[in-house]
Structure 1
């Protein structure tokens, strides 16, 4: 069953662009690890927040991806720009009206 991870990352004032740049760098290892979708977004209403929506082939695939050197390096690079305020929800995807069951 498809696994979803949707969350927000609080960033230090004026650092949102740096975090977006880090998170949107091409990383083919994510796809190889089972990532189906990784979308990064921003909102003018929340200038110190980065939004991330991920779909994975499984919760295990998501967990394993956190051990990839490329992912660990991106996290380490982004950490100085984060405020520490993070929220997230994880859930199993049941279906969608946009694709066949």
Structure 2
């Protein structure tokens, strides 16, 4: 469960970083009036968003693993803590991914593709 929890937290960080990348790229896409450049930025935002999505999937798997071992090891409070951490990390990753997606939508509008 400890490893799963750590995996989930790492994935959540990955998702947040990817989300930031998406938001940056989207901001630039919105600022760039030339459509070809803003199109490239919008595509970058999409790439970052799909990175975030992968991280969310990793976090989800880690969360499930942590919860499974928490069920198997119902005595240990440590295991429960790890499962809880993994769950929070997964939520964090999910929120980051949603942000990334909104950024992509903005970028797409800006570059009208």
After TM superposition, the score normalised by the length of structure 1 is 0.28
- Greater helix proportion: 2
Could you say which structure has the larger radius of gyration? Answer: 2
- Greater strand proportion: 1
